[in-house]
Amino acid sequence: MKSKGNGFRIYAILYLGFLYAPIVLLPIFAFNNSTVISFPLVGFTTQWFQALVTDTSLLLAVRHSLIVAVSVSILATTFGVFAARATTRYKFPGKGGLMGMIMLPLVLPDIIIAVALLGAITNILGMKLSLITVIFGHTLIATPFTIAILNSAFQSLDRSLEEAAYDLGETKISTFRLIILPLVMPGIISAMLIAFTISLDEYIIAAFLSGTEATLPVYIFSQFRFPQRVPVIMALGTILVCLSIVLLTVAEYFRRRGIAKAGGKSSGGFL
């Protein structure tokens, strides 16, 4: 039994090393004073980070990504609140099938979703590709994640609190606004942060639907054609990794806070 445990431990270490080694290399080459991404390192520099500030195309792509990510986090979380509330509180015909269709983007390849959306938006709706079409696509793939998070938040609610509010003369709308929303607010914040992170990092759908208004991942991919730009991209990647870690940590904090507030016990999470 001990040898099996050691074997599993070695496997876990090798797996984590294989998974995170490229991420560890990002800051190493981001601070390396050379345009060649290889060892041995030449020296320490921060010029690649300074170059980020003066790159107008990069700043425009960052602006586009922030517009999309903020919009998606609001829309996907709003849809997630409606869906999670409906599925945890009410029973109606076809609920299982309907929720299965809503959650389908979780298992569909992004390339299939991107091609389908491209055809529907350009040929059926006749819309011009822009940031709005990217927002549509990202909202579609982010909403199932917000529903999964908010389902646990709504399921952990004590229904007697809602019934007590009705007995005291509150309407359904005021009960939802004054009682339910404050209790699930940590879950809502967590869902918004996850949706924001998903949208900020997504490439495939953005590449198909952004048109001439490139988002940050699309811009990053386009820059790899120029070897002298690779260290700048490494610096940008370092910043994005740190930002993603911070957002996921905050999301996990609010998720656990919401479960504890409702009297539940956390059994895992994002991190």
269 within some domain: no
172 within some domain: yes
Per DSSP, 178 falls in state: I
Residue 264 pLDDT: 58
41 within some domain: no
CATH number assigned to the domain comprising residue 51: 1.10.3720.10
145 within some domain: yes
Give me the residues of the chain with pLDDT under 50, please. 270-271
User: Look-up: residue for tokens 């994005």?
Assistant: 240
Residue 163 pLDDT: 72
Residue 77 pLDDT: 94
Q: At residue 126, what is the residue type?
A: G
Q: Which domain holds residue 135?
A: 47-261
Burial class (CB in 10 A: 0-12, 13-18, 19+), 217: buried
249 within some domain: yes
63 within some domain: yes
Residue 271 pLDDT: 45
Residue 168 pLDDT: 76
Residue 204 pLDDT: 92
Residue 101 pLDDT: 84
DSSP run (H or E) holding 57? helix 56-89
CA dihedral (29, 31, 32, 35) positive or negative: positive
268 within some domain: no
Residue 144 pLDDT: 92
19 within some domain: no
Residue 269 phi, psi (nearest 5): 175, -160
Of 79, 73, 262, the residue nearest 185 (C-alpha): 262
pLDDT (tens digit per residue) in 96-146: 787 888 888 888 888 999 999 998 988 888 888 889 999 999 999 999 999
User: Look-up: residue for tokens 């490229």?
Assistant: 22
Number of domains forming the structure of the chain: 1
